[in-house]
Structure 1
Amino acid sequence: MESINLYLPGILLAYVAFLMAIASPGPNILAVMGTSMSVGRSSGIALALGVASGSFTWAVLTVLGLSALLAAYANALIAIKILGGLYLFWLAYKSFRSAMSRHDIEARELAGGRRTPFGYLARGYIIQMTNPKAALAWIAIISLGMKEGAPIWVGASIVLGTFILSIIIHVVYALAFSTPVMVHVYGRARRVIQGTLGAVFTFAGLKLLTSRT
């Protein structure tokens, strides 16, 4: 029980950071929105599942990579935390900048013509895996929950928990944004949402950089 209490706050903070990252529309979210609006719910859901699968792959690779790095170089945790904290500050800056911008989100259909459900699934996976910022995002997320000497169940909890959340949230996006009115509603609330995200990312970055372990 003591071990769970030691690592649970970090795991929960990693979940929160992941949810905040999903709430800020990036190329993957906009692709899900645009596909649901232009093609249909089933295609949007297929694309969403592909994106969630890509997130799971990145999470597994990050946990394994960080675990191996920490096992070989204990002091590497400091560098990882600095990198993750700076990236969270960068996300905070982008969120605040988006909150002050007057431009609405632009959800468009994917280029390249219509696809089969498997085609959208594969495209969603490719979109997520070829996102150059995904590695930094996952380093920041995993670093919030991983402490030096953390047992393997901590990393597994973060990976499985974020995978479940990823499936749920991305599918919800596909269902909700199958009508243009939802994009309009989201766009009107964009400034409040982005401002809140900026505050959360700032807090998470400070938390990561000032943690002792």
Structure 2
Amino acid sequence: MLISPEQFAGFLAAALLITVSPGPDNLMVLGMGMSRGRKQGMVFGLGCALGCLSHTILATLGVSALIAASPLAFTALKVFGGLYLIWLGIGALRSRGGARVEGSGMPDDSLLRLFGKGLFANAINPKVVLFFLSFLPQFVVTARGDASWQTAQLGLIFTLQACILFGLLGYFSGAVGKWINRNPRAGMWLDRVAGAIFVGLGLRLIIAR
């Protein structure tokens, strides 16, 4: 069964905001585009975004294993995930901005190598693994059936929107990078909005249980 329109809309809104908030991945994409060109920034960004597929698989398998072991274990995952999101949210709310976009500093590589570097950099990041395991289950509605299938759908949605946004970041990297460098406080407010969403999601899960 496909996720509901309400699940889709709520998850997509949160995913979009998280993706555009200044962070290592999108700042690397911007830096790559500014220093190497639009095509290179777009290819590197596509690799970063598709790296999310590996985290989707891990999250889906983890949810499946927990449900098979015990519904209580799945509930524990969502609660502990909620606590992790609150921790991330507090960190984002305390952000003072100051994000800057610099040149990538990478040697010239083929487009294929740039794609592979973006893919590898995201896929091996343990913080992204933990984020997916915490974030995706928050939007799973167990009453709608197969939670692992819902998790897989959510992960694919996250990956697709990241591909689009990172591609746009790479294409418009020069203008966006200059704007961020001129307006460092903009990143602070994006972080605060994203932080409020994290805290709200975490509290909803904990209070509801």
Contact 1:37 1:177 in 2 (8 A): yes
Task: Tell me the equivalent position of 1:52.
Answer: 49
Selected match of 2:133 from 139, 154, 167: 139
Pair 1:157–1:186, CA change in 2 (3 A): farther
1:164 lines up with 2:157 in the alignment: no
Identical residues among aligned pairs (%) = 27
Alpha-carbon displacement from aligned partner over 1:106-139 (angstroms, at most 9, x marks no partner): 3233444121111110111111112121112101
Total equivalences in the alignment: 206
Q: Unaligned 5+ residue runs, structure 2?
A: none
Q: Unaligned 5+ residue runs, structure 1?
A: none
- RMSD between superposed Cα atoms in Å: 2.3
Structure 1 SS opposite 2:101: coil
Farther off after superposition, 10-19 or 80-89: 10-19
- State the TM-score, normalized to the length of structure 1: 0.85
Contact 2:100 2:184 in 1 (8 A): no
Farther off after superposition, 12-21 or 33-42: 12-21
Matches within 5 A, 1:172-211: 172-179=168-175, 180-184=177-181, 187-211=184-208
Task: Tell me the equivalent position of 1:41.
Answer: 38
Selected match of 2:70 from 73, 84, 96: 73
Could you tell me how far apart the structure 2 residues matched to 1:12 and 1:71 are?
29
- State the TM-score, normalized to the length of structure 2: 0.86
Letter in 2 for 1:140: S
Farther off after superposition, 13-22 or 35-44: 13-22
